[in-house]
Amino acid sequence: MKMAENDNQVLEVRGTPGWLAPAVGVLAILGIAGLGLAWYNTSQMQVMRQSIDDQFTTERQNTAQQIATIEQKQAQAEAANAGLASDLGVVTTRLRITQSNLAKARTETAQIRDEAAQKLAEMDSDVRNQLATKATTDDLTATNGNVTGVRTDLEGTKNDLKMARSEMGTLIARNHDEIDQLRRLGEREYVEFSIEGRRKPQKVGSMTVELRSVNVKNNQFTIAVVADDLRTEKKNRLVNEPIFFYTRGSRQANELVINSVAKDKITGYISMPKATASSTTASSD
Of 162, 197, 220, which closes a domain?
Answer: 162
Position 175 pLDDT exceeds 90: yes
Residues 144 and 215 in one domain: no
Residues 35 and 110 in one domain: yes
Residues 201 and 104 in one domain: no
CATH code, 227: 2.60.98
Residues 130 and 190 in one domain: no
What per-residue confidence (pLDDT) applies to 53? 82
Q: Write out the chain in H/E/C secondary structure.
A: CHHHHHHHHHHHHHCCCCCHHHHHHHHHHHHHHHHHHHHHHHHHHHHHHHHHHHHHHHHHHHHHHHHHHHHHHHHHHHHHHHHHHHHHHHHHHHHHHHHHHHHHHHHHHHHHHHHHHHHHHHHHHHHHHHHHCCCCHHHHHHHHHHHHHHHHHHHHHHHHHCCEECCCCCEECCCHHHHHHHHHHCCEEEEEEEEECCCCCEEECCEEEEEEEEECCCCEEEEEEEECCEEEEEEEEECCCCEEECCCCCCCCEEEEEEEEECCEEEEEEEEECHHHHHHHHHHC
What's the domain count of the chain? 2
Of 162, 192, 225, which closes a domain?
Answer: 162
What per-residue confidence (pLDDT) applies to 282? 42
Residues 200 and 127 in one domain: no
What per-residue confidence (pLDDT) applies to 279? 46
pLDDT band at 213 (very low <50, low <70, confident <90, very high): very high
Residues 87 and 54 in one domain: yes
Position 52 pLDDT exceeds 90: no
pLDDT in tens, 32-48: 888 888 888 888 888 88
Pairwise CA distance, residues 240 & 269, whole Å: 10
User: Is 107 a member of any domain?
Assistant: yes
Which residue range is the domain that position 128 belongs to?
23-162
Average pLDDT over residues 4-10: 48
User: Is 1 a member of any domain?
Assistant: no
Residues 149 and 200 in one domain: no
Residues 182 and 94 in one domain: no
Q: How far is CA 126 from CA 131, 133, 140, 152, 163, in A?
A: 9, 11, 10, 19, 34
User: Is 17 a member of any domain?
Assistant: no
User: Is 3 a member of any domain?
Assistant: no
Position 4 pLDDT exceeds 90: no
Residues 158 and 42 in one domain: yes
Residues 157 and 176 in one domain: no
What per-residue confidence (pLDDT) applies to 262? 95
What per-residue confidence (pLDDT) applies to 97? 67
Residues 32 and 100 in one domain: yes
Position 5 pLDDT exceeds 50: no
Closest CA relative to residue 276, chosen from 174, 155, 187, 193: 187
User: Is 214 a member of any domain?
Assistant: yes
Average pLDDT over residues 147-173: 66
Residues 192 and 272 in one domain: yes
Of 162, 196, 229, which closes a domain?
Answer: 162
**Dihedral (Cα; 4, 9, 10, 15), 10-degree rounding:** 130
Q: Treating both helix axes as pointing N-terminal to C-terminal, what angle do 176-185 and 137-161 enclose, rounded to 10 degrees? A: 120
Average pLDDT over residues 111-136: 73
User: Is 266 a member of any domain?
Assistant: yes
Strand partners, 25: none
